[in-house]
Amino acid sequence: MTSALRLDAPDKDGVAVLWIDCPGQKVNTLSTSLVPEFEAMFAALNADPTVRALVIASGKDSGFIAGADIDDLGQVHTAAQATALSRAAQEGFAKLEAMKIPSVAAIHGECLGGGLELALACRARVATEHRKTKLATPEVMLGLLPGAGGTVRLPKLIGLTAALDMMLTGKNIRAEKARKLGLVDVTVPANALMDTAKRVARDLAAGKRIKEKKKTPLGQEVQELLLERNALGRRVVLHEARKKVLKQTKGLMPAPLRILDVVAKGTFEAEAAGFGELLMTPQSAGLRHLFHAITALKKDNGPGTEGITVQPAERVGILGAGLMGAGVGTVLADQGVRVRLKDRDHAAIGRGLDYARKVFAKAKKRKVYGQAGYDERMARFSGGTDYSGFGLCDIVVEAVFEDLALKQQMVADIERVTKVGGIFASNTSSLPIAEIAAHSAHPERVIGMHFFSPVEKMPLVEIIVTDQTAPAVTAATVALARKMGKHVIVVKDCAGFYTTRALVPYMTEAIFLATEGVALDQIDEAAMAIGFPVGPITLMDEVGIDVGVKVMKVMKHYYGERMQFPPDVSQALVDEGRLGRKASLGFYAYKDGKSTTEKGKKVVDVSVYKHLPQGGQVKGGDRAEMGERMVLGLCNEAALCLQEGILRDAYAGDLGAVMGIGFPPFEGGPFKYMDRIGLAAVVERLHRLEQKHGKRFRPCTLLVEMGRANGRFYA
């Protein structure tokens, strides 16, 4: 087997270069098999008198080290084994840290997880200023903690507060910020990386300082003294961090709390034990499953697309410059695509451009790019009230409100003005794509491209293909979504596709509970107790009650016999102008578009109860039972989508539910969740709910058959 490590002999100054280049992989990852190789290499270098310093660099153009090999973790079955795995990695990096010669990490691209922990064990770190260079400790996003010495070394290097921020959020740190934090010592242009790293290594070998120590401002010095350099201050920092974590996670995620415990102890032993315990938690299993789903779906371009190559779209037209259309355009322009907006008047176009300006201004403020980058992105936009410029577009994204006749008319209009082969992608959230294409001259070029709001933040795009959609059209649309940096699921056409269909039982069950007299805020609390980021009542206010009404009418038209819908109270809300946050009038109280709160909790607008059957006689409910009603309805519909072939596989169902509609990520998605409970138990619970509440809980055939056979969605 070809080794992942390659050593360049020392140059005339005694600086050797150790290249990490994992064979057969696009990116470097740290596997358990590499630990003995590293240890042998470090021992040999330490014993070689001709080597005075070492530079560690990546042989990949795409990055330094992307972290540990996740597949290795799937082979561990006990906490003791996981603890031993952590100890082995710690000992390997301890030998790097203890070398007689200085070592320098030369970082370009992603330096994540175990890759950053390796860099922390070096004497110094040099990073490129390239946009792709990012440093992070993302283990918390897998339900874990840094297990190769990171919890010990990182706080010592950059301070407790900054280290906790990195470990508890997993966020990426760009090179310039990393330099200011002290995480890296020098930043350079990419073409100067190796020369600079070798120079730093030579200087360290000669006993020289890398850089002059900056004088810390007095206020910052006092703060560090109070909070970082004494036991009482550290306890205060850890205590406040714990309060924040509990508020954000509701105690449902063990990893952030365990990170705080381990950092408080500050030992490698505590880190290894914490890593071992966390790896065995169901939350880590769910999050790692989600990682595998992401990896698997990167290879899925849709049915019939095998062997098809497409040219990335360079020009995209957008019909509708509202929040959704403007959001799509903003992300496209950020990724180098020229965007042409169309709306009914210039004021609407102006609002769409203002949306982009605000997003780009925030990025400029964060120093993602400078004024030139801002100007370049805005220059990619143009707009008007007619179809001028749309003839040049490779793809046209329609982002108007849910009106079938309007969308059909737009298909006809676009077919008249766009170039041969142009694609029409509808952003509908519920209408069948085949019906939108019903009068099209080229239905093979019509496809669904379902975005989620806000587009610049939501990570998913759902691509919907009909029986007539050409595979090349599917491949081109998937390529555009991926160019936007989105995760993609490709599903078969039907009303509501997958995400809306799965979401509707969850949302309607919330309305059923409300019509039974359960307090609105308690319904939200029941959903969040399961792990949903926001409750269904809040979600309706955020999306817009009027939008929900339109979607529910479509879904009731197609699925009313099977799904069962609650008494229609929504139209009365819309007629009153109660549209949610955007109107400062919804289920909750608002002032100037901002939620009214008391003691940290959102306040229900009690006047809304007059529209509900109980007329304001609200009551409490059993939180666990309410949560079960909402989540199992969603899971049953997800399984039915798989049964009907709307979903191509369970991975797409899990990723779509988590990334698109907020299913608790630590559960891994509805299919992983049902596997954890056991399908026979899921069927039994659904039957019990069916007897009590009606046919909407009748388990689908797939669940019944798999439950009877003790089956699983994942081996």
8-state DSSP, 697: G
Instruction: Examine the residue annotation and report whether 644 is marked as an active-site residue of this protein.
Output: no
- Give yes or no for a contact between 254 and 280, defined as CB atoms under 8 angstroms apart: no
In 10 A of CB 282, how many CB atoms?
15
What single string gives the DSSP state of each residue in 59-117? S-SSEEE--B-HHHHHT--SHHHHHHHHHHHHHHHHHHHT-SS-EEEEE-SEEETHHHH
Q: Which of 578, 631, 568 is nearest to 605 (CA)?
A: 578
Give the Cα separation of 424 and 387 in Å (integer): 14
In 10 A of CB 13, how many CB atoms?
13
User: Maximum distance among all alpha carbons in the chain?
Assistant: 86
- Give yes or no for a contact between 521 and 507, defined as CB atoms under 8 angstroms apart: no
| Alpha-carbon dihedral angle through residues 334, 335, 337, 338, given to the nearest 10 degrees | 10
Rg (CA), the chain: 28
The residue whose two tokens read 């936009």 is 381
- Among residues 139, 456, 462, 628, which one is catalytic? 462
Give the Cα separation of 367 and 75 in Å (integer): 41
- Give yes or no for a contact between 283 and 254, defined as CB atoms under 8 angstroms apart: yes
Strands 446-450, 134-136: pairing is unpaired
Give the Cα separation of 56 and 15 in Å (integer): 11
Nearest 5°: CA angle at 654, between 652 and 657? 100
Q: Which of 122, 125, 99, 103 is nearest to 202 (CA)?
A: 103
In 10 A of CB 645, how many CB atoms?
10
In 10 A of CB 384, how many CB atoms?
14
Strands 460-465, 597-598: pairing is unpaired
Residue 488's region, left for phi above 0, alpha for psi from -120 to 50, else beta, is beta
- Give yes or no for a contact between 443 and 468, defined as CB atoms under 8 angstroms apart: yes
Residues taking part in catalysis: 462
